[in-house]
Amino acid sequence: MVKIYTSPSCSSCRKVKKWFNDQKIPYIEKNIFVATLNEEELKDILKKSENGTEDIISSRSKIVKESGVDLESMTIKELIAFIRANPSVLKRPIMVDDRKIQVGYNPEDITVFIPQARRIADLACLECPKLDKCEHRKDEAI
């Protein structure tokens, strides 16, 4: 199941949720300001990010700028405590499933969350000579 970490005022978060709803892909939404991320969630996000803190923490965040923290010198435990105390430092939205992570809304990259079976069926439909009557896409407007 995909988890989407959001905040209420984030327009990219709304776009991501709309995309998942339009694609009929179930997800769990976690508002980072209401439900504090637990240590395991943050470890999972950090493990899956290619560039560590650079991928998930906004260096332009007011808290990062004003506090003068050196994120790179923090231990994992310190970093997790910092994020938990200051969730606004996280870039949003963050989408995570059991294998991958994506930060921000990118209409091309987000398609990695379409289940593989559906991608295969969609490709088969595109090659089908009866595209307009395809059984796999009967619920969608073509």
Quick one: angle between helices 39-48 and 76-85, nearest 10?
A: 110
Interval 89-141: pLDDT, tens: 999 999 999 999 999 999 999 999 988 777 677 777 766 665 555 555 555 54
Domain spanning 2-112: which CATH class is it, in words? alpha beta
Domain ranges (residues) in the chain: 2-112
CB atoms within 10 A of CB 111: 11
Average pLDDT, stretch 6-32?
96
Out of 10, 13, 125, 134, the active site residue is 10
Interval 42-55: pLDDT, tens: 999 999 999 989 99
- Looking at every residue in the chain, the average pLDDT score rounds to 88
Q: Which position has the token pair 């892909």?
A: 25
Edge-first strand order for the sheet with 94-96 is 27-31, 2-6, 94-96, 101-103
The pLDDT assigned to 142 comes to 39
Going by C-alpha positions, the residue among 33, 11, 10 that lies closest to residue 88 is 33
Respond yes or no: is residue 10 known to be catalytic.
yes
Q: Does the reported pTM lie above 0.75?
A: yes
